[in-house]
Structures are given as C-alpha cells and as structure tokens.
Amino acid sequence: MLHLYVINNLYKGKGILIPLILLTYFSVYPELFYSLFSIILSKYVIRFSSILLDSYFYKSYSNSIR
C-alpha cells in the first residue's frame, strides 16, 4: 500500500492515479483483475439481454392483442 500512497501524492489531481492502480493490480493479481472484469461485463450483458428480451416480448404481446 505504500507505493500507492507515493503514487497518490506524486500525481494528485492529474487523473493518472486510477490507471496506475489498475496497472499495478493487474501486474500483481491478474486473476483478480480478470474476475472483476468478467463480473462487470456479465452485469452489462445481463442488463442488455434483458432489455432485448423485454422489447421482443412486448412486441409479440402487442401483436397478439391486435
């Protein structure tokens, strides 16, 4: 954690802290990074597919009513 503190004081307010932290964690724990990325990706995929399914079912439902 000390190197993160040093990086934070060196680049405070320059927007480079988050990429450096991500690169540091990626070099130290690649499995953690991959699992986090897959969790975020699966959340977006689930949300997008549910939106698609909702629109599909809504169209078929509105067609069956007519």
pTM of the model: 0.36
Written as one string, the DSSP assignment of 11-51 is TTTSS-HHHHHHHHHHHH-HHHHHHHHHHHHHHHHHHHHHH
Q: What is the pLDDT along the chain (66 residues), one digit of tens a residue?
A: 566 666 566 656 566 666 777 777 777 777 777 777 788 888 888 888 888 888 888 877 777 776
List the chain domain ranges: 29-66
pLDDT at 52: 82
Tokens 């969790």, located at residue: 39
